[in-house]
Every structure is written in structure tokens, then in C-alpha cells.
Amino acid sequence: MKQTIKLFSVALIAGAISIGGYKTLESKTNPAPKEIVSTVKPIDFTPTNYTSNTPSKAVDFSTAAEKTVDAVVHVISTSVNTLPTNIMDYFRGNGRSRIQQGSGSGVIISPDGYIITNDHVIDNASQLEVTLNNNVKYTASVIGTDPKTDIALLKVETDTSLPYIPFSDSNNVKLGEWVLAVGNPFRLTSTVTAGIVSAKSRDLDQTNGTLQSFIQTDAAVNKGNSGGALVNTRGELIGINTAITSQTGSYVGYSFAVPSNIARKVVEDIMEFGEVQQAILGISASSLNSEMAKKLDIKQTQGVYVADLEKGGAAEKGGLKKGDVIINLDGVKIAKFADLTGCLGSKRPKDTVAISIIRDGEQQNVDVILKKLEVYQIKDIGIEVAEALPDVLKKYDLGGGVLIKRILRPDISRYSLQGAIITKLDDISVDSIADVREIMKTRSANQPIKMTFVSKNGETYSYIFR
């Protein structure tokens, strides 16, 4: 027992000595830290608004929707088509009649019943019915159409003042701006969808050769929205919804609208002149890019390059020259040809426009008085012709002729006539639009017409159209 107590006591003493020695060693190797005064400021976790010192506001679409939904109408067009039952019916224009109906939208632009819609909504219609948001129906008449811009003007007779949407300046529309599309997709009346402006001055590949300048949005637009309103958050009209690009025919993320400035100009021309007065500069031009700039040995990679000018045309008289680069028109930046097309689409003949150009590396300003585009529609063939520029005639070594500017019928588009030069009609030489008018006046209706032309490849052909 005594032996055990001794051993236990020795163990306790040894343990105490070991612990004491460890603490002494630790104090020598790791002295007590001195008090450090930190100069680093504490992190502030308070949320910070990096874009603005003002509190953000949620966009409210309800006011714009309430202002516009009653001014967008449902348009139902009825047409009668004749279907040939045999080869003789085809040549004689006989056959079985079939009634077809189409549906679209329209925008009331005045309290007395003027309505904008798309030309393709009412094309070939024998009867038009317009239904308001309150289910009141009217029979509409066509005041005028412009297939180039796909705009049509309708009128309903009413004793009451109708709700309408005021025009806004589409040049002031900004990328990323919130917009609403109001229309009647799939016959679902009074439908409102929201999106932003995805692009401006968007040009689509048109089978009829018409150059356009659309506002592109990501607001959902489907069949039946055509002719409806594209409005800003103030409820003002900035465009007429016209097209979508889709392999299925339904909305896939992008939609396109005719800018309100162009639509308004078309409507005012129809009301004042009965037709659209198209203003032109009288130039052959193209958009610039890095490859073209390198080829032309110029620094500009944006703008419209003037390749040639019409002799005696507006541009030549205003002081423009071959090789100029147009960068601005009436305060609107011109980065590509569609920008120029959009600006000119809102102008009229005899308007004076201020044009900024780059010439020999320096910016200059010129004022140009626009001229009217002279065109003529040969409806028996389904084409529209214009005066040919001298450089085009020179290219094909021709002394005269008229340019096939646009195809009017889908069945004619398969002949690839766009851009060809007509030299003869019924074997009579053609040098100008005046010659075409005289020839068409002297021939009887439904008479076959022979057209001789030079294709874009420089080959000469003759077609007979019946």
C-alpha cells in the first residue's frame, strides 16, 4: 500500500514539472501578442444602387393598355376566289367560286373613324367588317393602300366619337424601350403583350424587292396581330405590327412593325393625293462594312456609300458626289442602308433634307431637295417599273429602258424579273415610263403582251404574258 502511494506521488510531481516546463517554453517561443489598432474600415453590407441615386420604379403597363385597347379593332375580310375546274376555265378565267375569310387588326387614328391596318390583311377583300372592343360592328371601306409599306387606310361611318391612338415620333424610339403590342391574335380580341425594342431600321429579305425599315421587338405577335398597334408606355402609336420571322408561322421571339412616321406619312399622302408620294435621292448606294471599306480604301465602316448618281437627280443637284459616305440625315444617324430607307420613307417630294457626308476623309454638310419617284404598274404582267439609272443602262450597254423595280404578284416572282431592264413591249422600243404608259393605253384588255428584257445576268429574253 505504501509502495503504491509513493508511486502515485512521484507520478503527480512528474506531471506537474512537465506541465510547468511546457508553459515556460511556450511563453518564450510565443510571447503574448501586442494590441494591434486596425486601420481597415469595417465592410458596409448596406445595399448600394450602382446605376442611380434614385429608387428604381417598376414599369406600369396598365395605363398604356387602358388607353389603347379600345382603339384597336378586329378586322374580318371576305373575298371571293374563282377556282378553275379544267384547263379551259383557267384560260377563260371561269370556274367555281369560293368564299374565303381572313382576320387581322386595325388601329383607329381619328375620332371620325379612320383606321390603319396592313395591306395584306385587306388584300382582294370584297367586304370588310370592323369590330370594336365593345362588340359594335361596322362595315368599312378602303380609302387607299400602299403595298410597298404594307399599309392600308380604312374608313367607317359613325355618328359617335371613337377612341383613337395618337401618333408618336418613331425616330425617338430607343433600344431597350418597353413597348406593348395590341391586337387580335388567333381571333382572341383585345390582346396585349409586352416586350422591348430589340432593334431599329431592320430590313427583311422581301420577295418583291421592297426595302423596308422595321422596328424589331420581342413582344409576342402572332397571326391576327397584323395591322395592330405597337405603343410606348404612354399609350402613343410608334408602329403598326406587320410581320414575324418563323418557320412555323407563329411567334418565336421576334416581331416587326412599320414605324409610325412612315405609316403616318403614307396615310396623309393617301388622304391628300389618293396615292403615296415617294421621295428619292436619286443614287445607287449600299451599306458599308469593314471588307467594303478596305476595298474602297476608306476609313468608314458604317454609313451609306454613294456608288453612282442619277443624272439630273436630287442628289446630283444638291451637291452629292460619287464616293461620298452618308452618315446623317436630318439629325438621324445613318449607319446602314435601312436607316436611309427609313428616313426617306417619312419624307415627301420637294422636302429639303440636311445630309452629313464624309468626303475625302472630312465631314461636310449638304442640303438636298428630294424628288418624286416616278413608277408605273403594268398590272397585266404584275410588275412595277421605274426609270433606270444611267449607270445601270451603261452596265448592260443599253441606250434606254425601264427598270423592273417590284413584283406585284406571287406567281410572277418565280421568273426572277426583279432588277431586269425592259427594252421592248409588244416589239415597241421602251426608253422611259412615258413610253410604257403610251403602249399600255393603246392595247386592249386581256390581250397577250410580249415583254423583251435584259436580265441581271446580261442575257436578253422575251416572254409572252396572257
Shared domain check, 385 and 350? no
363 shares a domain with 381: no
Query: What are the tens digits of pLDDT across the range 270-284?
Result: 999 988 998 999 998
- Catalytic residue of the set 201, 226, 346, 356: 226
Q: Which of 328, 348, 372 is the last residue of a domain?
A: 372
96, 85 Cβ separation under 8 angstroms = yes
Low-confidence stretches of the chain (pLDDT < 70) are 1-58, 82-95, 205-211, 247
In the three-class reduction of DSSP (H, G, I as helix; E, B as strand; rest coil), residue 66 is classed as helix
Please report the pLDDT score of residue 210 as a whole number: 56
Give the model's pLDDT for residue 91.
54
Q: Are residues 148 and 247 in the same domain?
A: yes
Residues 334 and 218 in one domain: no
Where a domain ends, among 372, 401, 419?
A: 372
Of 234, 105, 125, 122, nearest to 178 by C-alpha is: 234
Q: Is the domain of 223 the same as that of 144?
A: yes
Task: State how far the Cα of 129 lies from the Cα of 142, in Å rounded to an integer.
Answer: 11
Distance CA(194)–CA(252), nearest Å, equals: 14
Catalytic residue among 119, 120, 269, 356, which? Answer: 120
Query: Would 36 be classed as within a structural domain?
Result: no
292 in the same domain as 250: no
Residues 92 and 129 in one domain: yes
One domain for residues 332 and 446: no
pLDDT of residue 150: 93
Q: What does the pLDDT read at residue 205?
A: 57
Q: Is residue 365 part of a domain?
A: yes
120 belongs to the catalytic site: yes
Residue 26 belongs to a domain: no
Do residues 250 and 387 both lie within one domain?
A: no
Domain match, 442 and 296 both: no
Beta strands in 294-420 (DSSP E): 304-309, 325-329, 332-333, 352-359, 362-369, 371-372, 375-378, 383-387, 402-407
226 part of the active site: yes
Whether 386 and 327 map to the same domain: the answer is no
Residues 362 and 381 in one domain: no
The one catalytic residue in 119, 150, 203, 308 is: 150
Let me know: does 370 contact 280? Beta carbons within 8 Å: yes
Domain tally for the chain? 3
Structural domain contains residue 97: yes
Domain containing 326 — which CATH number?
Answer: 2.30.42.10
Evaluated on CA atoms 44, 47, 52, 53, the torsion sign reads: negative
The predicted model scores a pTM of 0.74
What's the pLDDT score for residue 264? 96
Residue ranges making up the domain that contains 201: 60-260
Annotated active-site residue 297? The verdict is no
pLDDT at 202: 87
In a domain, 37, yes or no: no
Structural domain contains residue 237? yes
Domain membership flag for residue 122: yes
Question: pLDDT at position 97, please?
Answer: 72
Looking up residue 94, the CATH number of its domain turns out to be 2.40.10.120
